[in-house]
């Protein structure tokens, strides 16, 4: 609708200019005829006096019509300019609002997904195989824990691996030892996910780290969730170790961005991104943009849009989902105005 308004405005402007130009040409011709008529009337002397008056009035009329045509051009040009500006702003507002909604939808889908991850880690930390291997790490209990973790991974394909670490931060069981052999006996005591897991006050709590690349998992981009494993799987039992689960971030985030409802033309002209709370690109953007800082202007808003350097930039911060408050991530769509507007 907005595009049609602009098209009509430009067409009215073109037709008006064309018609006023024709009026100007006719009035110039009329003016020349009036001048010639006055000259001929002057040559005719007394006999041409009456005709001279008519020629003079015709010249005045031609001049008046030319002035009216000029005023019409100015008035229509000014109004067409206002209509064009209004139409352009309507288009900006329409697309800005729509893209803001799409950005919010993307980050909401991600948070709903990650909320499930927070449920997974708290549930699996009470699994008897995981509790048993930390309470009594024998060869049989380690093997049983590995089998149990492998079973979980076959059902939950969004994870790269699951690690069980003892109280000292040594990984004693993983779900994919063949694929990721470096994880076996790995010291994770200084890693954020492990240290944060030990700070949980009960089995109802969990910790999540911002997206990072994990060298032990083939430098894959991961969202890591963790919680303490407690004696006998009790909610407030003594901490005996930690469970870390590694969400395969890149393909899941890409699937969400690919599902954003932009037209093919809009998609070609746009960058679709997910940003962390520090406005670091964690998905989308230009090739190789992961981890780079995006200069987003919030201006105190949790969502909105603005224009800058020939682009329309729309954003929305995560509202969280259920008991998952989120990490302050944002969906963001940058669209080049020259192609999309």
The CATH number linked to 280 is 3.30.450.20
Q: Looking at residue 37, what is its pLDDT?
A: 63
Query: How much of the chain, in percent, has pLDDT values that exceed 70?
Result: 77
Domain membership of residue 118 (yes or no) is no
1 has pLDDT over 60: no
- Looking at the structure, do residues 273 and 177 belong to the same domain, yes or no? no
Q: Check pLDDT > 90 for residue 17.
A: no
70 and 170 housed in the same domain: no
Tens digits of residue pLDDT in 195-223: 999 999 999 999 999 899 999 999 999 99
Tell me, yes or no, whether 176 lies in a domain: yes
Give yes or no: residues 183 and 273 share one domain.
no
* pLDDT score of 341: 44
How confident is the model at residue 287, as a pLDDT? Answer: 64
Domain span at residue 30 reads: 2-91
Q: What percent of the chain has pLDDT over 90?
A: 58
Q: Note whether 150 and 166 are same-domain residues.
A: yes
In a shared domain, residues 52 and 6: yes
Cβ-contact 95, 340 below 8 angstroms: yes
Tell whether 266 and 196 lie within a shared domain: no
* In-domain check, residue 96: no
- To the nearest 10 degrees (0 to 180), the angle between helices 128-135 and 139-155 is 150
pLDDT score recorded for residue 216: 97
CA gap 199, 177 in Å, rounded: 27
pLDDT at residue 339 is higher than 50: no
Higher pLDDT, 42 or 172: 172
Q: Is the model more confident about 164 or about 336?
A: 164
- The reply to whether 26 falls in a domain is yes
pLDDT of 43 higher than 60: yes
Question: What per-residue confidence (pLDDT) applies to 46?
Answer: 67
- Taking the model in full, what pTM does it have? 0.74
Contact 173, 149 (CB under 8 A): yes
Residue 302 located in a structural domain: yes
pLDDT (0 to 100) of residue 186: 97
Q: Is the pLDDT of residue 340 over 50?
A: no
**188-192: long-range pairs with CB below 8 Å, 24+:** 188/163, 188/244, 192/224
**What pLDDT digit, counting tens, does each position of 229-268 carry?**
999 999 999 999 999 999 999 999 999 999 998 889 888 9
| φ, ψ at 88 (rounded to 5°) | -60, -40
190 and 258 in a single domain? The answer is: no
Helix (H) or strand (E) holding 280: none
Q: What number of CA atoms fall less than 13 Å from residue 68's CA on the CB side?
A: 9
The pLDDT, as a whole number, for residue 55 is 60
Which residue has better confidence, 246 or 76?
A: 246
**In this structure, what token pair is assigned to residue 70?**
């000029």
Q: Which residue has the tokens 């005023």?
A: 71
Angle subtended at Cα 109 by Cα 101 and Cα 211, rounded to the nearest 5 degrees: 110
Is 115 domain-assigned?
Answer: no
Supply the angle between the helices 49-124 and 249-258 in degrees, to the nearest 10.
Answer: 150
**Burial class of residue 341 in the structure, from the number of CB atoms within 10 Å of its CB (0-12 exposed, 13-18 middle, 19+ buried):** buried
Of 269 and 52, which is predicted with more confidence? Answer: 269
What's residue 34's pLDDT? Answer: 64
Is residue 179 domain-shared with residue 130, that is, in the same domain? yes
**pLDDT of amino acid 41:** 64
Residue 120 domain-assigned? no
CA atoms within 13 A on the CB side of 187: 3
Q: 58-67, 172-181, 185-194 — which is least confidently predicted?
A: 58-67
Report yes or no: 305 and 96 within 8 Å, Cβ to Cβ.
yes
Phi first, then psi, for residue 66 (nearest 5°) are: -60, -40
Q: Are residues 184 and 259 in the same domain?
A: no
Average pLDDT of the residues in 40-47: 66
For residue 285, name the pLDDT band (cuts at 50, 70, 90). confident
Grade residue 54 by pLDDT with cuts at 50, 70 and 90: low
Q: Which residue has the higher pLDDT, 341 or 227?
A: 227
Return left, alpha or beta for 107; rule: phi > 0 is left, psi -120 to 50 is alpha, else beta: alpha
Question: What is the domain count for the chain?
Answer: 3
* 220 and 260 fall within a common domain: no
3-state DSSP helix/strand/coil % of the chain, to nearest 5: 55, 20, 25
pLDDT in tens, 109-168: 988 888 899 999 999 999 999 999 999 999 999 999 999 999 999 999 999 999 999 999
Taking residues 37-59, report their average pLDDT: 65
Query: Quick one: pLDDT at residue 6?
Result: 60
Query: Would you state the pLDDT for residue 102?
Result: 95
Does any domain span residue 16?
Answer: yes
Task: Write down the pLDDT at residue 139.
Answer: 95
Same-domain status, 292 and 215: no
12's enclosing H/E stretch is helix 2-44
Measured between alpha carbons, how far is 221 from 282 in angstroms, rounded to an integer?
Answer: 9
DSSP string, 62-106: HHHHHHHHHHHHHHHHHHHHHHHHHHHHHHHHHHHHHHHHHHHHH
State the CATH number of the domain containing residue 44.
1.10.287.950
């Amino acid at each position: 609708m907005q595009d049609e308004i602009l098209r009509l405005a430009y067409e009215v402007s073109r037709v008006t200019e064309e018609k006023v130009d024709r009026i100007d040409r006719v009035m110039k011709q009329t003016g020349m005829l009036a001048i010639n008529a006055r000259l001929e009337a002057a040559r005719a002397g007394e006999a041409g006096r009456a005709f001279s008056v008519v020629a003079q009035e015709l010249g005045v009329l031609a001049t008046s019509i030319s002035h009216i045509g000029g005023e019409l051009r100015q008035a229509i040009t000014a109004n067409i300019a206002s209509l064009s500006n209004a139409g352009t702003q309507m288009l900006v507002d329409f697309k800005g609002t729509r893209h803001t909604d799409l950005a919010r939808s993307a980050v909401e889908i991600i948070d709903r997904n990650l909320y499930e991850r927070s449920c997974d880690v708290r549930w699996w930390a009470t699994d008897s195989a995981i509790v048993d291997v930390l309470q009594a790490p024998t060869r049989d209990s380690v093997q049983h824990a590995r089998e149990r973790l492998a079973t979980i991974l076959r059902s939950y394909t969004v994870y790269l691996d699951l690690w069980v670490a003892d109280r000292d931060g040594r990984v004693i069981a993983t779900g994919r030892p063949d694929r990721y052999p470096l994880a076996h006996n790995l010291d994770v005591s200084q890693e954020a996910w492990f240290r944060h897991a030990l700070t949980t006050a009960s089995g109802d709590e969990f910790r999540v780290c911002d997206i990072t690349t994990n060298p032990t998992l083939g430098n894959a981009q991961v969202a890591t969730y963790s919680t303490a494993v407690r004696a006998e799987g009790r909610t407030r039992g003594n901490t005996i170790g930690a469970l870390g689960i590694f969400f395969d971030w890149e393909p899941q985030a890409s699937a969400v961005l690919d599902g954003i409802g932009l037209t093919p033309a809009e998609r070609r002209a746009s960058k679709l991104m997910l940003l962390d709370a520090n406005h670091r690109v964690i998905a989308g953007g230009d090739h190789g943009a992961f981890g780079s800082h995006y200069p987003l202007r919030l201006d105190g808003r949790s969502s909105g849009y603005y224009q800058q350097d020939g682009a329309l930039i729309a954003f929305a911060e995560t509202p969280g989902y259920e008991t998952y408050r989120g990490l302050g991530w944002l969906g963001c769509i940058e669209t080049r105005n020259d192609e999309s507007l």
